[in-house]
């Protein structure tokens, strides 16, 4: 078993935060499971042979473990939370105080060990295909009226297509969706993704 803290991560646990006690307990649980402690995205991340297993992070109302392949875990205790409907693989276990963590420690260790086995087995989440995303009406009407746009969109990689469909469908109002579509037509015609 690893059970070694990483000095590069110590600052995260030493900074003043309302979750300091909770973070420290979550750290010890992850290290007890033999994982390697690293710093990723400014948070303690626990890995196995370089593969991400679980991450500690905090928000105003709660702190959490984030299981990178949480959707593949059994979740017999019904504690895993999908942050939004669009999050495909990661799942959180949220905590409001250290007592909750102490009470769940055996369960958390079991989930970590299951996550390790998922990683060792090479299991992966199959992402939603582009066809599974809704095409907002505002974008569909442009695709129907502008053949060059339809051709350019279909030539994009599936990931870029999904990025646009997701981005275009997020606003609640048709006016905002329409504005987004208009703004990104030149980028689609140039073969670029939303973030390019």
**pLDDT for 128:** 73
Q: pTM of whole model > 0.75?
A: no
The strand ranges marked E within the chain are: 36-40, 43-48, 51-58, 63-67, 91-95
Neighbouring CB atoms inside 10 A of 143's CB total 17
Please, which residues bridge with residue 93 across strands?
Answer: 65
Closest CA to 45 of 21, 79, 9: 9
Report residues of the chain scoring pLDDT below 70.
1-3, 86
**Residue ranges of domains in the chain, CATH in brackets:** 10-120 (3.30.1460), 130-189 (no CATH)
pLDDT in tens, 55-98: 999 999 999 999 999 999 999 999 999 987 767 899 999 999 99
The pLDDT value given to residue 87? 78
Q: What is the pLDDT of residue 166?
A: 86
The pLDDT of residue 110 is: 98
Measured distance CA(93)–CA(101) in Å, rounded: 10
Write the burial class of residue 7 (CB in 10 Å: 0-12 exposed, 13-18 middle, 19+ buried).
exposed
Q: Which residue has the tokens 């991340």?
A: 45
């Amino acid at each position: 078993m690893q059970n070694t803290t990483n000095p590069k991560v110590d600052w995260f646990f030493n900074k003043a935060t309302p979750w300091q006690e909770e973070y420290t307990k979550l750290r010890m649980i992850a290290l007890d499971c033999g994982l390697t402690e690293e710093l990723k995205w400014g948070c303690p991340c626990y890995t196995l042979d370089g593969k991400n297993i679980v991450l500690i992070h905090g928000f105003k109302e709660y702190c959490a473990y984030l299981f990178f392949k949480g959707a593949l875990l059994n979740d017999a205790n019904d504690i895993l939370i999908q942050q939004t409907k669009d999050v495909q693989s990661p799942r959180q276990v949220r905590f409001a105080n250290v007592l909750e963590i102490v009470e769940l420690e055996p369960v958390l260790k079991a989930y970590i060990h299951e996550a390790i086995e998922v990683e060792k087995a090479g299991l992966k989440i199959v992402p939603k295909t582009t066809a599974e995303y809704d095409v907002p009406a505002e974008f569909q009407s442009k695709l129907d009226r502008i053949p060059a746009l339809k051709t350019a969109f279909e030539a994009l990689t599936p990931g870029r297509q999904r990025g646009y469909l997701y981005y275009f469908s997020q606003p609640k109002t048709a006016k905002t969706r329409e504005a987004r579509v208009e703004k990104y037509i030149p980028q689609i015609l140039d073969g670029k993704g939303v973030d390019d």
